[in-house]
Structure 1
């Protein structure tokens, strides 16, 4: 991504990518097969991505090559419809994807499942392993007011002060997991409200940075890859994420056999170029790129995006596309027409 025009054109191409993944996974909504929902989203995303004029590289995807047949970490994507000579002129792009964030949500027909993609120039997104990460996310007004190692009550007081509210007026969102028992207790003890979600901390984190969602912060432990993709959105939204890797099974509330030993996890992240496993990451550490693109399309209805709607002659999608270069945030409502000249377009 070498100029504003290229960034705008790629943003629209990435919109097509997330729309395709959302449509295919939405066809499986409520069928109770999360693996199938994810599989069709991956296939659709990979097929459309290969038509994008770029030399893309997956830095966060479906897993290691041996575990994922497509969109695996290190996979080269894009430019499939062009000659070798033409591809040589395409921009080099690092890409982080979550073809279906909220696989359980889609399988159950629940809210807030989305298809997501983040991209930047080469080296612009942290190559984070699929391990746990503690996070706190706030909007633009609260940048610099929170500390991931501070007590929950102190962070809530600082957020309330920045927003000109009482702590009792705040709503914190977090995953409904046993590991968050103390966090939930601390939020309630401070007097704030809390919204527990079953899945989808990526879309929840974005909601925390957008005014009008009535979510003022996300706190708690989720996936590191989702943290990087959220950071790309924060960079476009001028919000803030602070994060730190978590290795301790007791803090995660899981059996030691369910997570790799700390030494093994540290060796893995060092192999991915991360030298300090105890570092506290901020937005620019997770997404250091100067030219960042974030695209997401709703699969099921949510607080930020509506889900895919099907009608006789096509379908309708609702997406958001954000870029850092021109600080644009576009909500895109697209009607995909499949019928002939007599098709009835529904708005």
Structure 2
């Protein structure tokens, strides 16, 4: 894959973030998501590749653009699969809370698990605890193993988990074991990435969240040599049928990060609101500043990019 595609992806996530940034805190998550999606779709068509959306905004009859199976790009020779979340944390954005991002990942054709829009149980850590996690083990056992790998006490660990009733027992066990918990309302891709940075204050991410977001998180972790395991959680027979239609036959399979996102993977994200990982869009007279991250698995290169956009020269925004 052309390494220049990595920086092209930053333009895509910047466009999405700038488009929905004006809607931060205005209480309309649908409008914010639509603005980000439109901008991302438009910008993708300026890139020289032949892309297919495999993780997107839903099925064709559910989403007008960036739907699963949609072709994007201007028809260049490079064939890639694309995973997108134009606005991860729509509620966060609408309420003006911290941690919403615009994100995208590329892989060679067939590189991403075609995960249906359903739940996935996940556990993720950074490179310093790679190989220590086991999704089949208890939260306490995982905390013990990660603390040993990081040469610290369990009390030193911070675990991020979505604030949902389904996690009440897990939260109670984590607290009983002695670790700290950071509960989040939405958006578990950014915390997974943060777990790969030693100074982020995030050591682990546990719990059940979206399966498409799990693929995006795995793409980022692969670029940073982190570790993740995921297992689909089926809530109905209809979901099993949908998964089967997307080529999934082993419903109990535990996926590694490499199985969720394989090959030469490129990942990019831009902050929409301020968070532990990225700063949000900041406006000034006549323009705005964005803060992004872009990485590639082949080289393990991780770049942070601060960009000043002048709207007189970018009337699209």
TM-score computed with the length of structure 2 as normaliser: 0.97
Distance 1:210 1:283 in 2: 17
2:254 corresponds to 1:267: no
Query: In the alignment, what sits opposite 2:308?
Result: 335
Alignment of 1:96-111 (within 5 A): 96-111=83-98
Q: Kindly provide the CA deviation profile for residues 155-208 of structure 1, in whole angstroms up to 9, marking residues without a partner as x.
A: 101100111101111110100000000010000010111010011111111111
Distance 2:233 2:239 in 1: 10
Aligned-partner SS, 1:220: strand
Query: Gaps spanning 5+ residues in structure 1: where?
Result: 80-86, 249-260, 341-347
Q: Kindly provide the CA deviation profile for residues 242-282 of structure 1, in whole angstroms up to 9, marking residues without a partner as x.
A: 0111125xxxxxxxxxxxx2x32222111101121110011
Alignment of 1:318-329 (within 5 A): 318-329=291-302
Query: Gaps spanning 5+ residues in structure 2: where?
Result: none
Deviation at 1:338, TM superposition (A): 2.9
Q: Kindly provide the CA deviation profile for residues 5-60 of structure 1, in whole angstroms up to 9, marking residues without a partner as x.
A: x1x21111111000000001111111100000000000000000011100000000
| Contact map agreement 2:225 2:300 (CA 8 A) in 1 | no
TM-score computed with the length of structure 1 as normaliser: 0.89
Alignment of 1:10-21 (within 5 A): 10-21=5-16
Alignment of 1:84-233 (within 5 A): 87=75, 90-233=77-220
2:53 to 58, 67, 85: 58
Distance 1:24 1:301 in 2: 16
1:292 to 262, 265, 268: 265
**Which stretches of structure 1, 4 residues or longer, exceed 3 Å deviation after superposition?**
none
Residues paired across the two proteins, number: 313
Deviation at 1:339, TM superposition (A): 4.4
Distance 2:80 2:100 in 1: 26
Aligned-partner SS, 2:255: coil
Distance 2:311 2:66 in 1: 28
Query: In the alignment, what sits opposite 1:45?
Result: 40
Deviation at 1:210, TM superposition (A): 1.5
Deviation at 1:141, TM superposition (A): 1.2
Query: In the alignment, what sits opposite 1:282?
Result: 256
Structure with the greater alpha carbon radius of gyration: 1
Distance 1:131 1:40 in 2: 24
Query: In the alignment, what sits opposite 2:290?
Result: 317
CA RMSD of aligned residues (A): 1.0
